[in-house]
Structure 1
Amino acid sequence: MTSATLNSLGFAKPPSETRVVVAMSGGVDSSVVAAQLKEEGYDVVGVTLQLYDHGAALAKKGACCAGIDIHDARRVAEEMGFPHYVLDYENIFKDAVIDEFADSYLGGATPVPCIRCNERVKFKDLLETARDLEADCMATGHYIQRKTGDFGPELHSAADTNRDQSYFLFSTTPEQLEYLRFPLGHLPSKDATRELASKYGLAVADKPDSQDICFVPNGDYASVIEKLRPGAAEPGEIVHADGRVLGTHNGVIHYTIGQRRGLGIGGLTEPLYVVKLDVDAKQVIVGPKEMLATRTIPVREINWLGDEAMTSRPEWEISVRVRSTRPPRPAILRPISDTEAEVELLTAEEGVSPGQACVFYANEGSRIFGGGWIWRG
């Protein structure tokens, strides 16, 4: 292989001389990445993180990095013939992800712990472990694309918009992007991934996708918070935006911005939604749907991935996503500092919530310019 010839991971040497650590969750996506790279002749090392108690994890179906998933990852490594390690990251995960999740929820926010896990665990501590193993790069099963631009690696949405995970990866830094690889980002569909799994004869080919947040069984956030912070859920009043007390609640943590169902207040002539959570006053404030509409969003802790500094312009015409389930919408980004900005949506969005991410996209094409955290409604 000549110096001008790059292998599929972008290195000017044979795959056999290129070591790649694959972050293996035990699911079909990361298993296919590991199997594919092994088949291409790379020096593959599989690593799986134990993120929380093995016993509890085994009992929960559909969780990432649970006991059964560790077993599945190890089995794939044995089938394909590459080394596999399980690292105990339980304390790191609790300190970096779970504790903040609990505190943010108690503070009236709606956190996205999957982003913090990528930012503070997988792309930080695990990435350093990959470097310690003298790997040339680290590969994951995320559906996102890394492309080489005029100024270095760029982050782009996945080819399959239905599988795109860019919302959860906006905080990937330029330095991390240099080291990371995402071999599935160009695939047209999840079916294509499962076809590859069948081609490699992987036992996980038909394994269901993980659901919900890995440490939150059945999406029941409140029960997890109560377990993590006993006694933190204090009762209070459900108050209309006009000041009328409509009822009582058993804890602000049971509610989210935009919620309509399960408010426990009947006999009303108009549908009401949660429009604000006042943690200090222990109040859940409700109002008509139009009160949810937001056009101006303060964003902080911004990770910027543009070619020029964010502050080099007074404003940027971009598109933004304020929820993982919504498509990007046109907006104006006005920088305040290197890490803070105000985002003006050209069309108001409902249910914009503190604790969620605001991710920046190019108006044309698939490039991601980073993003930040919504910090007040």
Structure 2
Amino acid sequence: MLNSLDIAKPPSATRVVVAMSGGVDSSVVAGLMAEQGYDVVGVTLQLYDHGAAIHRKGACCAGQDIHDARRVAERLGIPHYVLDYEERFRKAVIDRFAQSYADGETPIPCIDCNRHVKFTDLLETARDLGADALATGHYVSSRTSASGRRALFQPADADRDQSYFLFATTPDQLDLLRFPLGTMTKPETRDHARRFGLAIADKADSQDICFVPTGRYTSIVEKLKPEAAEAGDIVHVDGRVLGRHEGVMRFTVGQRRGIGIAASEPLYVVGLDATRRQVIVGPREALATHAVALRDFNWLGDAPLAEGETLACFAKVRSTRPPRPARLRLVDGEVEIELLDGEDGVAPGQACVLYDGAEGMARVLGGGFIRRRQPVAAARSAAALQATI
């Protein structure tokens, strides 16, 4: 008989390591697991900084948050360990974050944190502790699919959906991971925190870029990658040089405000050329994207992808956008996603996550980071040329 975590053991014989960040969500997960009689061990990762982030509202995994996690563990009566992952976090997340901006991309550091630290190093620690499961406070769901492996799904609360940030989770990792909040809303989670008597019940949610103590990412990027702050030209898509900028790191595709030039028409950042240190601008229609090529692709479907295969799916190119109709193609080992309705402001470095549906606890099929984009205008030109051949 399976317990509530789909493990064939009684809860008392099932060890669950809970990743405790010091926030409400992971604290409630620890409380729920302890309440259900599991053998719970709380683990908190010291990821960065002992100074500036200690009292900064919205930080996580440092200073006050570690103290909060320790207090929650004491309240719940579970063992709690703090592991120093600061060096690992710097190399796997912060350095990669800075390099991505220097390359003219717009990175998502919390995805790197999940795939390189929390779901790799922490998962190994959980195994070393003899854990049957590693539970986290993410709003996402998992259950066994037709293949017999666990699959990843959107949560019941669409407003808290974090599946976009977890596309890189591998099948082997999913077999050990559990997400107890996948069926809950945030208000329900806070109600549980109050029921457990946790002092952090009304604590504010953490921010995505938790390691930026001043809230200005450019200071970190400039320190680690000075070349990202080198001046260059602001160039119109028609080739005209319109002005100068103080570093490609200060711009992202889709940006309109703060470009620093005067023009008779609204202009948007439509591309960044880090090699030439150019910020490329143009009218809104130049933002429309027809297709994207992905790197670091992770596939979570039941059957492996075949070369030349085309798969209908739904693609999400920003965390705040809904999944839209798309087609996946595997061409010469490279994954290409055709965006059937087009998308605006698609930025290299962002994630493109694939689902089997557009709404309501859809399954996550996989995803990757956007390596390059194909504008709609270019696609139409190519189609017109093909028609004349």
TM-score (norm 1): 0.95
Gaps of 5+ in 1: none
CA 1:251–1:129 in 2, change beyond 3 Å: closer, same or farther? Answer: same
Partner of 2:158: 161
Offset at 1:59? 3.9
The 1-side partners of 2:332 and 2:55 are apart by 46
Equivalent residue for 2:260, pick from 242, 264, 274: 264
Offset at 1:320? 0.5
What does residue range 120-159 of structure 1 map to in structure 2 within 5 Å? 120-151=116-147, 152-159=149-156
Partner of 1:176: 173
The 1-side partners of 2:277 and 2:99 are apart by 15
Letter in 1 for 2:293: P
Partner of 2:316: 321
The question of whether the paired residues in 1 share the 8 Å contact of 2:307 and 2:331 is answered with no
CA 1:119–1:337 in 2, change beyond 3 Å: closer, same or farther? Answer: farther
The 1-side partners of 2:214 and 2:322 are apart by 25
Is 1:276 the counterpart of 2:274? The answer is no
**Secondary structure in 1 aligned to 2:183?**
coil
Partner of 2:46: 50
Gaps of 5+ in 2: 374-389
Partner of 1:294: 289
The question of whether the paired residues in 2 share the 8 Å contact of 1:212 and 1:219 is answered with no
The question of whether the paired residues in 2 share the 8 Å contact of 1:311 and 1:336 is answered with no
The 1-side partners of 2:49 and 2:332 are apart by 41
CA 1:74–1:315 in 2, change beyond 3 Å: closer, same or farther? Answer: same
The 2-side partners of 1:289 and 1:66 are apart by 41
What does residue range 207-226 of structure 1 map to in structure 2 within 5 Å? 207-217=203-213, 219-226=215-222
Partner of 2:350: 356
The 2-side partners of 1:366 and 1:317 are apart by 14
Offset at 1:169? 0.2
Offset at 1:303? 0.7
The runs of at least 4 consecutive aligned structure 1 residues that moved more than 4 Å come to none
Is 1:112 the counterpart of 2:108? The answer is yes
The question of whether the paired residues in 1 share the 8 Å contact of 2:24 and 2:200 is answered with yes
Q: Aligned residues, how many?
A: 370
The 2-side partners of 1:277 and 1:304 are apart by 29
Per-residue CA deviations over 1:273-325 (Å, capped at 9, x if unaligned) read 00111111111111000000001111122111111112277100000101111
Offset at 1:232? 4.1
Offset at 1:211? 1.9
Letter in 1 for 2:289: T
Identical counterparts, % of pairs: 64
The question of whether the paired residues in 1 share the 8 Å contact of 2:300 and 2:364 is answered with yes
CA 1:361–1:337 in 2, change beyond 3 Å: closer, same or farther? Answer: farther
Per-residue CA deviations over 1:69-92 (Å, capped at 9, x if unaligned) read 000000000000000000000010
Q: CA RMSD of the aligned region, Å?
A: 1.4
Partner of 1:249: 245
**Secondary structure in 2 aligned to 1:222?**
helix
**Secondary structure in 1 aligned to 2:57?**
coil
The 2-side partners of 1:47 and 1:305 are apart by 27
Letter in 1 for 2:317: V
Partner of 1:32: 28
